[in-house]
Structure 1
Amino acid sequence: MTTGGCAVERSLFGNRDYRRLFGAQVVALFGTGLATVALGLLAYRLAGARAGAVLGTALALKMVVYVVVAPIAGAFADRVPRRLLLAGLDLVRALVVSALPLVTEVWHVYALIVVLQSASAAFTPTFQAVLPDVLPDERDYTRALSASQLASSAETLLSPVLAAAVLSLVSFHWLFTGTAVGFLVSAALVVATRIPPARPVVRARLVDRITAGTRIFLATPRLRGLLAVNLAVAGASAIVMVNTVNYVHDALGRTDTDVAVLLAAHGAGTIVVALALPRVLGRVADRSVVLAGATALCVGAGLAIALSTAGSGAWRWPAALTTWAVLGAGAGLLLTPIGRVLRRSARAADRPAVFAAQFSLSHACWLLTYPIAGWVVTATGFTTGWTALATLAVAGTVAARFLWPRNDSPATARDGEPRSVERADSGQGTR
């Protein structure tokens, strides 16, 4: 493999199996984006003025399911052929979203959301654990992580536009149809992909299998640091995910179009960083990049607090665009190297458990920050709520600096057990 940027990029997408997996990810992402818009409209049809409460409850259910189901799914990742597992989960998701337009009661929505997100909680970490096996070369894997982040950011920017185009022609029910088609295409691409079988795990007890990823996290210094970083991400990014609409309308007095523009500024910050990261990670340690991202998130949260205390003035709009772009760049700096850190922190057999633990633990942090961004901001205002979120972001960043050893060893676990991971780190003086 040549080292020139274009040649490496061609080599990455020249890998047929990765190309199909990437295609499956893209169509599933855009399908999910359409479903997000459609779910909001469905909630309004069913609940009217209470639509916000319905969506808030659905979001909370999603987080709870992610926290609970992901480790259980990781425990059985080696017991089922991964290609069939991923395709089957796509089919489950297609069936659920096909049923959503037929519901007549709010509780029907909640029940289907639990099933849908349970499938997603099993699919996502399994898919993430497959990539290192399909792309064993670290440079290719790094570029794949960057490409995944670009796809996710592009979906955030383009799905609302695509949904608006569809809604200009047909009713919102067809958005669910588009989502189902996306999941079916994803399943077909996964079935056509050669996915290496998962390495068997020797743990006999079910409880050991379910808790293996979390125990490896708690026993490995760099992963304990990563856990603290997850808190920083959830604290700062909740400002964007939850409060953008109200801030644009209530504080700035601007339009729905400006909501999309502000979210686009956040996505643009992420995309710019994702494009640059593969070259940066070839020269800069993962720890430095991750901590730089966490620091950028803290800066962005601080800028948001400053904006919330400012008076009126036309300057607030460009300042908000800059702040949201900084928050996007901070998130972009974190998301690509996190996959690299997880990959080298466990042997191949334990990757499903470790990726599932990251998925579960990171969403546990979101389960803490979403209510603050929603309920505290609603009750007390932007300044108080954002100060609480920024405090969590700063606490996570500071904790990560102490928990993640500065001279971090690249060694990984040899037998997948927590004590082995700890020995691998401490053997290089990084404990």
Structure 2
Amino acid sequence: MVIQSRKKSILTQFHEPFQALKNWVFATLYFAESISLLGDAFTWVGLALLSYQFGREKSAIILATALTLRVTAFIIFSPFAGVLADRVSRKTILYTTHFIRMAIVACLPLVNHEWQIYALVFLLNVFNAFFTPTYRAVIPQVVDKAHYRQAVGLSTATFQILGVLGPGLAGILAVWFGARQIFFIDAGSFVIAAVLILMLPAAKLQHAVKKNEKTFTAWHDAIKGIKLLFKNPLIRFALFIELVSAIAGAQILVNTVGHIKSGLHLDDRHYGWVMAAFGIGASIAAFVAGSLDKTKTRRLSLIVGALVLAITISITNFVGYPMMLVLWLFAGLGQSLAEMPSETLIGENIPENEQGKVYGSHFAFSHLWWAVAYPIAGYTGSHFAGRNFLYGGMIAFFFLAMALFMVSVNSIKRR
């Protein structure tokens, strides 16, 4: 009986996120987002292959520059995207950004200079910066509170799963169609997603917005979003934990390939498996996180996730490949536990008519953390081969300690 009840409990935890799909508006949005995310995987695989066509020695520089431009676009434009999400038709933002990104991606097969890649990647992510905060602001509007965390968990899990499966599918299609031609498949995915969004009633996506406010000051509202983001102690702590996650996550994204090839003397296949383990771990945690920690603060999830991440990368330099697979599985679990609560905390603690600007500010700051973390990972990887993950883990522990210290100081002040 005990075993059966445990089985039911586990099945319930994995089944809960799908309850949100009974809401047809969210289901339509979810499938539109999933299709465009799959297309994004094609874009980054295509960019990796395209960069090799400019010279193998240049590929790392091209990809690193493209990633930097990506987060730069998010940092600059996301706060203003959040402001628009509170004042302009969200449906218009969602489908327009899809059509524009379709046109940009369709230009990538035609590039023959590096600067063209950089320009197109930056433009692509400018409009991605307008889409993502708007999409996140819509979820709490269309999903009831009982299923909100599950809806966020399902979206996050799907993002992680497609991050694992998408590149593999893109690689197969690249063999069939060619490296440049898979960009057209991505462009097609944007069209399909936009058509799905066009089917939705605009009023369902924006019922809490004051339609009579015709004018606004973009800077004022963007700053207000930042203030609201940092004013709430629960969201502020979650945001600082995301910095820990970015420090550790950047080490994984930047230095895993070098460690596999140079440190362990293995090949691309082993790199693919270890990154798949990371994605699987992140997907599992995304499905069950909302059921495991139902507290108002989500502090247990945040601290455990950050600790798991910091510990796993700290010992990676000293283990073999089989153990690394296990560690990267746990690192994926940790990253989802550390990053997911921010989005749900905003939806649960910020007034509906202010959520767009706060989601925009959060999107900007969460990517600012990655803009800080990528150079750190690059430095440890290039200067401390064989100890890069250890030093990255030590830095992650330092920022985690700072976040916990600030929480304890705030608790003392409130007393």
Q: Could you state the TM-score of these two structures normalised by the residue count of structure 1?
A: 0.86
2:290 is matched with which residue? 278
Aligned-pair Cα RMSD in Å: 2.5
SS in 1 for 2:189: helix
Instruction: Please say if residues 142 and 336 of structure 1, whose CA atoms lie closer than 8 Å, have aligned partners that are also in contact.
Output: no
**CA 1:213–1:283: 2 relative to 1, 3 Å:** closer
Q: CA deviation at 1:196?
A: 2.7
Tell me if structure 1 keeps the 8 A contact 2:18–2:154. no
Q: 1:24 aligns with which of 12, 32, 43?
A: 32
CA shift for structure 1 position 157: 1.3
Amino acid at match of 1:322: V
Letter matched to residue 103 of structure 1? V
- Aligned ranges 1:367-386 → 2 under 5 Å: 367-383=371-387, 385-386=388-389
Deviations 1:324-345 (A, max 9, x none): 1121110121233222211123
Amino acid at match of 1:36: W
Per the TM alignment, residue 283 of structure 1 is displaced from its structure 2 partner at its CA by 6.0
Tell me which of 336, 339, 344 is aligned to 2:340: 336
What residue in structure 2 maps to residue 183 of structure 1? Answer: 190
Letter in 1 for 2:120: L
Which consecutive residues of structure 1, in runs of 5 or more, have no partner in the other structure?
A: 308-315, 409-425
Counterpart for residue 351 of structure 2? 347
Distance 1:284 1:352 in 2: 21
Aligned equivalent of 1:168: 175
CA distance in 2, matches of 1:351, 1:306: 44
Matches of 2:97 and 2:196 in 1, distance apart?
A: 13
Q: State the percentage of identical aligned residues.
A: 25
Tell me the residue number matched to 2:264: 252
Residue identity opposite 2:90 in structure 1:
R
Deviation at 1:205? Answer: 3.4
Equivalences for residues 70-219 of structure 1 within 5 A? 70-137=78-145, 139-194=146-201, 195-197=204-206, 199-200=209-210, 204-219=216-231
**Residue in 2 aligned with 1:417?**
none
8 Å CA contact 1:101, 1:173 repeated in 2: yes
Shift of 1:371: 1.3
Q: How many residues align?
A: 400
2:395 corresponds in structure 1 to: 392
Task: Tell me which amino acid in the other structure corresponds to 1:56.
Answer: A
The alpha-carbon deviation at position 305 of structure 1 amounts to 4.4
Aligned match of 1:402: 405
Other-structure match for 1:318: 322
Match of residue 363 from structure 2: 359
- How far residue 406 of structure 1 moved from its aligned partner, in angstroms, is 11
The question of whether the paired residues in 2 share the 8 Å contact of 1:93 and 1:116 is answered with yes
Structure 1 residues 286 and 60: alpha-carbon distance in aligned structure 2, compared to 1, 3 A threshold: same
SS of residue paired to 1:104: coil
Output the CA distance in 2 between the equivalents of 1:21 and 1:61.
27
Mapped pair 1:288 → 2:291: no
Q: 1:42 aligns with which of 33, 44, 50?
A: 50
Contact 2:235 2:342 (C-alpha < 8 Å) held by counterparts: no
Question: 2 CA distance for matches of 1:261 and 1:240?
Answer: 13
Deviations 1:67-112 (A, max 9, x none): 1110121122233210111100011111111001111111111111
What corresponds to 2:310 in structure 1?
Answer: 298
Rounded to whole Å, the distance in 1 between the matches of 2:288 and 2:56 is 44
Segment drifting more, 231-240 vs 47-56 = 47-56
Q: CA deviation at 1:430?
A: 5.4
